[in-house]
């Protein structure tokens, strides 16, 4: 019910389905928590493309950790990681040399071609390496990590149609499978975008609703607490505009506005 958010779209439909999707796990409800947390700073907001301002309300690590069971992706990958647990896809995702092949239930196979190692250089702006990460079964999405020279992204590939969408960060699917929230912390330098993105899962596949790039905090991880409600682990910048060392994560809750 987030149709009011339709704005900046970034979907790239390519090849036109599926692991039998697992039943959506409904996380333990997370009460709005203020335990041991300071009041949210005035900068802990962001504006949607339609002008609505979303506030981040204080929460806690304890509430965030209670939602861990809802995650379906393995731990974060690094640039040396290999394909993760291809056997779980029952042959629908497989590796053929530099090609990662994904067979949706409908339409042709999706082929993601990695750049040969000898050509994966700083000078090659098109260089990319694809690694199978896992799936978001309740949202019917395969998740492929895309490594570039100084940044990374993920490809969401619809298990039903093969439709693809590139989005930054680590994706998390809502319990009902209708939305994916992706967090990309990028305030530590380099080319990684610092962003929070919301994707809608339609019958045809994933579609980007919006992507915001906050300047005062970095979104590190998202976990859904229910329909239209999510918790974030974030890092706030200090008075000098820098991330503190050692890191001091904060936990906030946001409610995504529903359609009228």
What pLDDT is recorded for position 146?
97
What pLDDT is recorded for position 189?
76
- Per-residue tokens: 231: 């918790």
Task: Give the whole-angstrom CA distance, residue 76 versus residue 85.
Answer: 14
Which class for 126: exposed (0-12), middle (13-18), buried (19 or more C-beta within 10 A)? Answer: exposed
Query: Measured between alpha carbons, how far is residue 157 from residues 34, 149, 189, 229 in Å?
Result: 37, 22, 29, 24
Task: Report the candidate in 88, 76, 27 with the shortest Cα–Cα distance to residue 220.
Answer: 76
- Answer yes or no: is 123 within a domain: yes
- Answer yes or no: is 260 within a domain: no
- Answer yes or no: is 169 within a domain: yes
Which mean pLDDT values do the consecutive 10-residue runs of the chain (260 residues) have? 42 41 40 42 72 91 91 89 95 98 98 97 95 97 96 97 98 95 90 95 97 93 93 91 87 77
What pLDDT is recorded for position 38?
41
**DSSP labels for 155-177?**
EEEETTT--EEEESSEEEE-TTS
Domain that holds residue 52: 3-255
The structure's pTM equals 0.81
- Answer yes or no: is 45 within a domain: yes
How many domains is the chain built from?
A: 1
Q: Angle CA(168)–CA(171)–CA(174) in degrees, nearest 5? A: 140
What pLDDT is recorded for position 258?
60
What pLDDT is recorded for position 190?
79
What pLDDT is recorded for position 20?
40
């Amino acid at each position: 019910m987030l149709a009011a958010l339709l704005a900046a779209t970034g979907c790239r439909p390519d090849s036109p389905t599926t692991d039998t999707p697992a039943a959506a796990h409904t996380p333990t409800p997370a009460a709005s928590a203020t335990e041991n947390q300071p009041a949210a700073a005035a900068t802990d907001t962001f504006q949607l493309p339609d002008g609505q301002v979303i506030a981040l309300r204080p929460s806690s690590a304890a509430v965030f950790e209670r939602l861990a069971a809802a995650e379906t992706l393995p731990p974060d990958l690094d640039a040396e990681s290999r394909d993760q647990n291809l056997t779980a896809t029952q042959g629908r995702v497989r590796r053929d040399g530099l090609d990662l092949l994904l067979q949706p239930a409908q339409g042709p196979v999706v082929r993601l071609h990695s750049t040969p190692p000898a050509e994966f250089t700083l000078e090659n702006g098109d260089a990319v390496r694809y690694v199978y990460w896992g799936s978001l079964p309740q949202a019917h999405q395969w998740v492929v990590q895309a490594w570039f020279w100084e940044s990374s992204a993920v490809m969401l590939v619809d298990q039903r149609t093969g439709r693809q969408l590139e989005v930054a960060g680590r994706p998390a699917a809502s319990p009902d499978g209708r939305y994916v929230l992706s967090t990309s912390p990028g305030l530590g330098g380099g080319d990684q975008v610092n962003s929070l993105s919301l994707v809608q899962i339609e019958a045809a596949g994933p579609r980007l609703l919006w992507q915001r790039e906050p300047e005062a905090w970095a979104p590190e991880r998202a976990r859904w607490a229910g329909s239209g409600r999510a918790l974030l682990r974030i890092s706030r910048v200090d008075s000098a505009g820098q991330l503190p060392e050692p890191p001091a994560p904060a936990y906030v809750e946001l409610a995504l506005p529903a359609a009228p």
